[in-house]
Chains A and B, each alone.
Chain A
Amino acid sequence: MNTDQRRFKRTPVIGTALIAAGLAVIPFMTSTTGLRQASQIVIGVLAVLGVNVATGYGGMISLGHGVFIGVGAFATGYYVDDLSLPWLAAIALGALTAALSGALVGLPALRIKGIHLALVTLGLAIVFQPLSKRFPKFTGGVSGTGIDALFLAPAWWPGDPRMATAVYRYLFCILVVALALWATWNLVNSRFGRSMRALRDNDTAAAVYGVDLITARVQTFAISAGLAGLCGALQVVLVPFVSQDKFAPQESLVIYATAVIGGLGTIWGSVLGVLARTFVGAAGKAAAGIDGFGFLGEFLDLLDEAAFVFGLGLVLLTFLFPRGLAGIGRRNEVAN
């Protein structure tokens, strides 16, 4: 192992330690609301990871992952409330339902490729809101649906009840996200992961080497959608209310932008993307608070808009660091 490889190995360890330390401190520093927001940031990694699996590893551009978050959230709500399933089963089934819907989208992806697939997934993101309003039984229609079953800390869990539940949910989310990251890391470094990447780089060659294109594409899309669905299921854990207005097409695009900005084709990239979104969001909020400066002040207000900053970031990074934040400092190989 030469020095270059060793440094490559060391960064994730240091990074993981830093993030773990940061996550460990948060519960002592904030209220239940702050903890819920922190949990929401943590589970955001899952959706970004989903895009990363489809686009970064599978080479299938997906602009519509908000749809799978929505399916996961609505499905989990339905399972836990209407079918009165236990939470863990409902979450697993919710993610599975999203994975199935992803497999459905993956089917046309067998023939529709590249930029055309991007178009179809964008179309899905735009159709999802009106479509979900059509099924009020599952989605509560326009106004959304509240979930009666609450994800509560068990009785033996220490601390006062409200804070205990917040901490419990927070730790649960971290555990699920960590497991998902670990599983995805193993997956992309397995035989399946190699066939996925072969498919991305040259599908004809992959087929010649014995990769079953149909199964590999559909499975990749299903896994990717399942990750996003898991994010949706955990959203329901944190806030027992789902409404279609959270799944606007712009949300899907911001998730895509986060995945690209963090870096496609590395697991790290998804974590970095979400970290960047969090810090940019905080910095933007601070900048928007500054008044005066007239004309300049209006631009500072814009920094509070995640969509604006990430849209701009997407354009800039495509020129400066085509491999995203995770690719800074590495050799600039051709992305994709």
Chain B
Amino acid sequence: MDLVLLLQRIFDALFNSAIYSSLALALVIIFRSTGLLNFAQGEMATFTAYIAFVLLSGPQPRLTGGGLAGLVPGVPLPIPLAIVGAVICGMAGGAMTERALIRPLGRAPDLALVNITIGVLLATNSLMAQWWGTGPRIFPAVFPSGAGQHFSILGARLRYSTVGVWAILLGVLVLLILLLRHTRTGLAFRAVSISPSNAELVGVRVGTTLMYGWALASGFGALAACLSANSVLLEPNMMLRVLVYAFAAATLGGLDSPKGALIGGLIIGLSQTLIPAYVPFIGFELSVLPALLAMIAILLVRPAGLYGTRRIERV
């Protein structure tokens, strides 16, 4: 086995790993607090990537969709600002979704929550197709990614963009941990995650806290979408497949464990690149199959995943 090639493949995989980790983190934040798998997470994230795209391009009639036309700033924004704008829009959107669609349902059965997220998924997906077309758009690279823009380690190339994405992910993670450990909101969020009813009894405003959680999760989703839009090309279905990887990552790590999401994303990202490389039947296109099979296997054998809380069922 060619070790340099293997190292190269691992380096290449790390970029996707970071994307899956951050989307998995978004899923975990929501699952932990609401017990809901947000199937619409990917589409919500893609929508924010389109917002970033619009902010980047300035007001061009063919790019802006519907009601957004009047809101586009006159001057195209630089990439970092556009992404910050998209993340803020994503957070607002996430908070609004929780407030308008999830909270009024109260203690609804699983089915109702699934219906809401599927409804949002379908509506957002076709809204994007209508406003921006189904054709792929070229989203500029966030980090220098031309030829020669890489570190050389043992003969393999580690791209600047991979390092950059991981730096952003880890930076945001540190912020998240600080938020959870050292602020009142973070404390409230942890309380709500453990037991909403008990948290309510000691005076935590559960609804508002969950809204912050949704905002946070959608922020992670937006970040993931903006950072990956360059490599997967911006189109309405961009995150649909990424969502399977992210769900697989979250399941692998344990659906209620942020640490698990990070590790799960790493493993799924590596397997997505390495399995097609060494198993000829699984070409690049079918690389989503191992992720799905891994997800099913984990749900069957060890539903708590690597780091999740084990549930004890009384029969």
Taking beta carbons and an 8 Å cutoff, which residues of A are in contact with B? 55, 61, 63, 108, 111-112, 114-116, 118-120, 122-124, 126-127, 130-131, 133-134, 204, 249-250, 253-254, 256-257, 260, 264, 295, 298-299, 301-302, 305, 307-308, 310-315, 317-319, 322, 334-336
Q: Mark B279-315, 1 if CB is under 8 A from A, else 0.
A: 0010101101101100110011001000000000001
- Given A108-B296, A108-B299, A315-B101, output 8 extra A-B contacts at Cβ < 8 Å: A55-B111, A111-B299, A115-B37, A123-B247, A130-B289, A256-B118, A305-B130, A311-B122
Report the separation of the CA atoms of residues A134 and B279 in the bound assembly, to the nearest whole angstrom.
Answer: 14
| CB<8 Å pairs between A and B, sample of 8 | A123-B291, A127-B292, A264-B111, A301-B130, A308-B127, A311-B124, A315-B116, A336-B111
Please state if B244 and A250 are interface contacts (CB–CB under 8 Å). Answer: no
Please state if A311 and B37 are interface contacts (CB–CB under 8 Å). Answer: no
Tell me the residues in window 20-61 of chain B with beta carbons closer than 8 Å to chain A beta carbons: 36-37, 39
Considering the complex, give the chain B residue whose CB is closest to the CB of A107.
Answer: B300
Q: Within 8 Å CB of A257, what residues of B?
A: 118-119, 122
Least CB distance, B242 to chain A, in whole angstroms: 10
Partner of B244, one of A123, A254, A310, A314: A123
Q: Within 8 Å CB of A311, what residues of B?
A: 118-126
Report the separation of the CA atoms of residues A204 and B241 in the bound assembly, to the nearest whole angstrom.
Answer: 35
Please state if B122 and A253 are interface contacts (CB–CB under 8 Å). Answer: yes
Please state if A134 and B286 are interface contacts (CB–CB under 8 Å). Answer: yes
B115 within 8 Å of A (CB atoms): yes
B67 within 8 Å of A (CB atoms): yes
Please state if A123 and B292 are interface contacts (CB–CB under 8 Å). Answer: yes
Q: Within 8 Å CB of A319, what residues of B?
A: 104-105
Report the separation of the CA atoms of residues A314 and B105 in the bound assembly, to the nearest whole angstrom.
Answer: 14
Please state if B110 and A61 are interface contacts (CB–CB under 8 Å). Answer: yes
Taking beta carbons and an 8 Å cutoff, which residues of B are in contact with A? 36-37, 39, 65-67, 101, 104-105, 108-116, 118-127, 129-131, 240-241, 243-244, 247-248, 251, 281, 283, 285-286, 288-289, 291-292, 295-296, 299-300, 303, 315
Report the separation of the CA atoms of residues A123 and B289 in the bound assembly, to the nearest whole angstrom.
Answer: 9
Known: A120-B295, A253-B122, A307-B126. A318 touches B112 (CB 8 A): yes
Q: Within 8 Å CB of A299, what residues of B?
A: 66
Please state if B123 and A308 are interface contacts (CB–CB under 8 Å). Answer: yes
Least CB distance, A11 to chain B, in whole angstroms: 24
Report the separation of the CA atoms of residues A298 and B240 in the bound assembly, to the nearest whole angstrom.
Answer: 25
Q: What is the predominant secondary structure among interface residues of chain A facing chain B?
A: helix
Q: Within 8 Å CB of A322, what residues of B?
A: 112
Please state if B65 and A298 are interface contacts (CB–CB under 8 Å). Answer: yes
Please state if A131 and B289 are interface contacts (CB–CB under 8 Å). Answer: yes
Least CB distance, B254 to chain A, in whole angstroms: 13
Residue of A63, A114, A119, A123 most packed against chain B (CB within 10 A): A119
Please state if B123 and A124 are interface contacts (CB–CB under 8 Å). Answer: no
Please state if A120 and B114 are interface contacts (CB–CB under 8 Å). Answer: no
Least CB distance, B97 to chain A, in whole angstroms: 10
Please state if A112 and B127 are interface contacts (CB–CB under 8 Å). Answer: no
Least CB distance, B137 to chain A, in whole angstroms: 19
Q: Within 8 Å CB of B289, what residues of A?
A: 127, 130-131
Report the separation of the CA atoms of residues A122 and B67 in the bound assembly, to the nearest whole angstrom.
Answer: 31
Partner of A253, one of B101, B121, B248, B299: B121
Q: Within 8 Å CB of B248, what residues of A?
A: 123
Report the separation of the CA atoms of residues A335 and B111 in the bound assembly, to the nearest whole angstrom.
Answer: 8
Please state if A336 and B288 are interface contacts (CB–CB under 8 Å). Answer: no
Q: Within 8 Å CB of B240, what residues of A?
A: 126, 249
Please state if B300 and A111 are interface contacts (CB–CB under 8 Å). Answer: yes
Q: Within 8 Å CB of A314, what residues of B?
A: 115-116, 118-119, 122
Please state if B126 and A123 are interface contacts (CB–CB under 8 Å). Answer: no
Report the separation of the CA atoms of residues A116 and B114 in the bound assembly, to the nearest whole angstrom.
Answer: 10
Partner of B36, one of A115, A130, A131, A295: A115
Least CB distance, B212 to chain A, in whole angstroms: 22
Q: Within 8 Å CB of A312, what residues of B?
A: 119, 123
Please state if B288 and A130 are interface contacts (CB–CB under 8 Å). Answer: yes
Q: Within 8 Å CB of B131, what residues of A?
A: 298
Report the separation of the CA atoms of residues A293 and B205 in the bound assembly, to the nearest whole angstrom.
Answer: 43
Considering the complex, give the chain B residue whose CB is closest to the CB of A317.
Answer: B115
Report the separation of the CA atoms of residues A334 and B283 in the bound assembly, to the nearest whole angstrom.
Answer: 46
Known: A108-B299, A314-B116. A298 touches B66 (CB 8 A): yes
Please state if A307 and B123 are interface contacts (CB–CB under 8 Å). Answer: yes
Q: Within 8 Å CB of A127, what residues of B?
A: 244, 286, 288-289, 292
Considering the complex, give the chain B residue whose CB is closest to the CB of A56.
Answer: B111
Q: Within 8 Å CB of B104, what residues of A?
A: 319
Report the separation of the CA atoms of residues A257 and B126 in the bound assembly, to the nearest whole angstrom.
Answer: 14
Report the separation of the CA atoms of residues A322 and B105 in the bound assembly, to the nearest whole angstrom.
Answer: 11
Q: Within 8 Å CB of B121, what residues of A?
A: 253, 311
Known: A118-B37, A310-B122, A318-B119. A295 touches B67 (CB 8 A): yes
Please state if B109 and A112 are interface contacts (CB–CB under 8 Å). Answer: no
Considering the complex, give the chain A residue whose CB is closest to the CB of B113.
Answer: A115
Report the separation of the CA atoms of residues A133 and B288 in the bound assembly, to the nearest whole angstrom.
Answer: 13
